[in-house]
Amino acid sequence: MSGHPLDIRRIPGSWVGKGPYFLLALAILAADQWTKALVEAHFFLHTGIEVIPGFFQLSHVRNTGVAFGIFASQDGTASPALVAFTILALGAVLLYLRLVPLGERRLLGAVGLLLGGAAGNLLDRLAAGAVTDFLDVSIGSHHWPAFNVADSAITVGIGLLILDTFLGRPAATEDSPTDASGETP
């Protein structure tokens, strides 16, 4: 029945076939929440252990802002505007996931990473008013702000989006099978 004009696989913006990217987002969300729970259970706030001397430590800090503490509140709680913005951003990422053609695996992977990372940090903001960060990197006197699994997924997702922008789409060859929408199955 795949040749029928009402075949859902031919409708632009379908969820069909995007399950693996939702699973990627769910895996990121689960890993993020699990690692944050471990840190919260085993480290007092503002303490940590050095893993690689002079380079990497695990620490427990709370961030009420966004990346690197930007827009952090002074009262230790998440700003309602920041929570609302994050919810709107998640909605935009979901819409984009729906619109990306199924054959665009790199782009879909990037969106899955963004979705999982944004959901992980939003869940923290809603539940605790702040995000737990614990990955702490420094080189000499240069210190990078602490981050977490969700932040890492978001960063890699953005990197893949940029890569996709510059590399573009692989050109279909005459040997590549395509369906009526031009997507490679």
Of the two residues 24 and 174, the one the predictor is more confident about is 24
> At a CB cut-off of 8 Å and minimum separation 6, what does 59 contact?
43, 46, 47, 48, 49, 133, 134, 136, 146
pLDDT at 129: 87
The 10s digit of each residue's pLDDT in 3-50 is: 555 555 554 577 888 999 999 999 999 999 999 999 999 999 999 999
CA distance 54 to 56: 7
Q: Where are the alpha helices (DSSP H) in the chain?
A: 19-42, 80-99, 105-128, 149-167
Domain map of the chain by residue range? Answer: 25-167
Q: Which residues are catalytic?
A: 133, 151
pLDDT at 176: 47
The 10s digit of each residue's pLDDT in 128-172 is: 888 999 999 999 889 989 999 999 999 999 999 999 999 876 655
